[in-house]
A and B are shown apart, each in its own frame.
Chain A
Amino acid sequence: MNTKKAAAVAIVAALGVTTLAACGGGDGGKDKATGTPAPKTVTLVSHDSFNASKEVLAEFTRQTGFTVKVLKSGDAGEAVNKEILTKGSPQGDVFFGVDNTLLSRALDNGIFTPYEAKGLNRIPAALQLDKEHRVTPIDSGDICVNYDKQYFAGKKLAPPQSFDDLAKPAYKDLLVVENPERSSPGLGFLLGTAAEYGDGGWQDYWKKLKANGVKTVDSWELAYNQEFSGSAGGKKAKGDRPLVVSYASSPPVEVLYSEPQPKVAPTGVSTGTCFRQTEFAGLLNGAKNPEGGKALIDFLISKKFQDDMPLQMFVNPVTTDATLPELFTKHGVVVDKPETMAPDKIAANRDQWIQQWTLLVLK
């Protein structure tokens, strides 16, 4: 009786409010409304760190007629796992952000359709890890130990340069690392040590690191912004670890986001502790707009996008004709001999290594 009436009124009211909210809420259902033939949007699914400048995305629309819609799907591992879960009925057309540490899991689960992008010849063959072209390399970056220049200058101590250095008594209680299970730089660093000391040797190295007072936290955010004494956030939080696992591109970023910008970066990179990460994009199996998706992959390796990328995501372009911004050439470092590892070797060992590492370091 009156409950029903109340219900009816309430539903009408709710519909009213949600429609209002929809008006303000952005382009929620627009692409549906434009009809079925040849969708005008192409959806890029990525991790939370994806960024591109507005004008570059506008350029893509000018060139192809497609508008890019970006769906951020969590951190890198989570985003890949979501794509595996929704295999065959993907959330979008292109996935960007699977790196060499997770590549085999993505490929073995068959979430990508092969597509040979236009302009592949401008990418070094060493980076093209999938011969079937299910994925295309987009960027690369190095995971390295960063150091607090002020700390080491004050102590008149040379910053560590290699994995071996980190285990020396001079650097006792100085290093903070990330849990490799929860954080991709943490995993990169573990893989770097495994590449350096071999399948049988890395455990001994970590025993030494543990005896040398290495500290572990769960995320890069905590390590870099809370524990590390060299970053702006860490200074404010009064972090007391002058060594942290971060990226080779962190020093330029540190300069970029300071006000006023310092003449030299407050942090440096221990170039002998680096592990190279390459990120890939691929056309999703079951994409609703495969044509748009192919155009988007071509665009991701175009000069326009590759030039824009360093200051958006703080990674290095993969194409040979891209130019690095001044910030990178001035404050960044070139890593000559980073550690690397084949994706299938990572896939075969990752879970077991992480488990061994947990028992060794955390328990």
Chain B
Amino acid sequence: MVLPVAFFAVFFAWPVASIVERGLRPDGHWELGRFAQTLSSPEILDVLWFTLWQALASTALTLLVALPGAYVFARFDFPGKGLLRAVVTVPFVLPTVMVGTAFLALLGRRGLLDELWGVRLDTSVWAILIAHVFFNYAVVVRTVGGLWSQLDPRQEEAARVLGASRWRAWRTVTLPALGPSVAAAALMVFLFTASSFGIVQILGGPAYSTLETEIYRQTADRLQLSTAAVLTLVQFVAVGAILAVHARTVRRRETALKLVPPERTAARPRGAGQWLLLGAVLLSIGLLILAPLGVLVERSLATSTGYGLDHYRALQSVDENGTFLVPMTDTIVNSLQYALAATAIAVVIGGLAAAALTRRAGRLVRGFDALLMLPLGVSAVTVGFGFLITLDEPPLDLRASWILVPLAQALVGVPFVVRTMLPVLRAVDERLREAAAVLGASPWRAWHEVDLPLVRRALLIAAGFAFAVSLGEFGATVFIARPDNPTLPVAVARLLGRPGELNYGQAMALSTILMVVCAVSLLLLERLRNDRTSGEF
């Protein structure tokens, strides 16, 4: 418990508090009037209103599209299901620069839609909403679908045998069991879309601004720290409230449900209705998720003289003109190293936190549970600028150190580790440990013999997820000054920032590589998945 608390205090709470203090207490006394001043400005009210309604709309749209998907993944068996499950999760860990580019190619001027039907959605709120569905599809499929696949269908069948109609059986048996996890998924999607940054920045155009982009604008562009501080506190309160509700729904979900292994619940679809549903879901996945990813691949292969691997070959050569001083392939190695270090940190901190949360109960611990999730919803620029003004003295002058990048990435990885480990750890029967102790095993031996075999798999999954998230992490990494060895997403963004066909093509090729690496690591996780690991992601 001590280590996770210390980690969060030093690398999250302290930097954020410092930057807020700098904003609200510029000359040694608090200027709380800034609250009223900021929150009464019509410009800021516009931002708050837009943030709220686009997040609500995104969440509703995501549920609408993804719940049938969750059902199909939970109940149907079809060839390539594991692969597809991994593929729909890829967007969740992709950096937003890439997603923005892919969607512009699809929805923008003379994108696919424009050429077919003359429909253009860039710089409209529709592009933002659709991209949010793309990003968060996996959250619903994994949270709701994961549980759905383990609900015993025989309970519903029993209700039918007892005379309930199909609808009534579903409503009285399945829905109550699923309800809390649907609510939890909805809250997570709301949290992610309310703090959306890159998507709004790229697809929304200058006329749209969310709380997150506004904090960035006020801090990085205008140096209006007081406004940024007020907005950060507003964000804090909102995220805290969402997480509190989330924690409640998750706890409700953990009330005894009879769970069975997913293999026993899934079957090949039968009848026209089921095939139709499967077809519709596959189609929606194809349009929403595969098409944007496909556009990236297509553009990485397209050269001025037809299709070829030129852009990929260019990645290996040292750019004589010095765009990066190192071959692009080095940025892949860099990214892998950073992500490994971030994973190690996230697994240790998250694992310890999860262990502590399993052993102890009480309000304080539950509060800490929610606290660990905070970095997911708090602006990366706030944390990044906080690092700059707090970690500036030895032995903690980390500002120019490579470790800062993995540390920032780990902040985002820890919540995933905790969410994955917690349900599994809680499911370990205390009596097994007691039995081991009675039989004379030392605590270490008991842990080794009882806990480890049960959680090893979950630990691997948690590590894999933290790894994939760290690999794609962009927001925090890009704010941190670093010696010149960029990570892959940062390299993509920089390549897109230079003119010329080769740079553009290389950016697309790197994006494709990143996508494949993410997909492969997620696919490996699919293989590890079994009935014991019903974590949330």
Contacts and interface: CB of A to CB of B under 8 A. Distances in A.
A70 B484 contact: yes
Contacts of B303: 259
Contacts of A137: none
B400 A26 contact: no
Interface string B390-424: 00110000011111001000000000000000000
B110 A240 contact: yes
A232 B485 contact: no
Contacts of A2: 433, 443-444, 446-447, 451
Contacts of B401: 28-29
B516 interface: no
Contact of B482 (A54, A71, A89, A182): A71
A109 to B, nearest CB: 9
Contacts of B338: 25
Contacts of A5: 443-444, 447
A237 interface: yes
Given A14-B348, A26-B483, A236 B321 contact: no
A96 interface: no
Interface string A245-260: 0100010011011110
A89 B222 CA distance: 21
A299 to B, nearest CB: 17
A312 interface: yes
A250 B498 CA distance: 10
A21 interface: yes
A121 interface: no
B195 to A, nearest CB: 19
Given A6-B355, A182-B217, A45 B222 contact: no
Contacts of A239: 109
A311 interface: yes
Contacts of A39: none
Contacts of A45: 481
A7 B444 contact: no
A17 B344 contact: yes
A238 B122 CA distance: 14
A72 B504 CA distance: 21
Interface string B469-505: 0000000001101111110000000101111111110
A54 B322 contact: yes
Nearest to A226: B104
Interface stretch (B85-93, B162-170, B200-208, B524-532): B200-208
The interface centre, meaning the residue of A10, A52, A216, A250 with most chain B CB atoms within 10 A of its CB, is A10
B341 interface: yes
Given A54-B325, A232-B504, A69 B400 contact: yes
Nearest to A238: B110
Contacts of B359: 3
Contacts of B323: 51
Contacts of A105: 223
B310 A259 contact: yes
A194 to B, nearest CB: 19
A86 B399 CA distance: 11
A29 B401 CA distance: 7
Contact of B403 (A13, A28, A70): A28
Contacts of B321: 256, 311-312
A138 B433 CA distance: 69
A11 B337 contact: no
Interface in A171-206: 179, 181-182
Contact of B348 (A10, A54, A217, A250): A10
A85 interface: yes
A21 B501 contact: no
A128 interface: no
Nearest to B341: A21
B499 A254 contact: yes
Contacts of B105: 237
A77 B223 CA distance: 9
Contacts of A240: 109-110
B400 A43 contact: yes
Given A21-B340, A81-B220, A258 B206 contact: no
B304 interface: yes
B402 A85 contact: no
A18 interface: yes
B27 interface: no
A58 B147 CA distance: 59
Given A5-B447, A179-B206, A253 B344 contact: no
B221 interface: yes
Nearest to B22: A85
23 contacts: A2-B451, A5-B447, A6-B355, A6-B451, A7-B355, A13-B348, A18-B403, A22-B403, A53-B325, A69-B400, A74-B481, A77-B221, A81-B219, A84-B223, A216-B205, A218-B206, A226-B104, A233-B503, A238-B110, A246-B499, A257-B503, A258-B304, A312-B322
Interface of A: 1-3, 5-7, 10-11, 13-14, 17-18, 21-22, 24-29, 43, 45, 48-49, 51-54, 69-74, 77-78, 81-82, 84-86, 89, 91-92, 105, 179, 181-182, 216-218, 220-222, 224-227, 231-233, 235-240, 246, 250, 253-254, 256-259, 311-312, 351, 362-363
Interface of B: 3, 22, 104-105, 108-110, 123, 201-202, 205-207, 217, 219-223, 299, 302-304, 310, 321-323, 325, 333, 337-338, 340-341, 344-345, 347-348, 351-352, 355-356, 359, 385, 388-389, 392-393, 399-403, 406, 433, 443-444, 446-447, 451, 478-479, 481-486, 494, 496-504
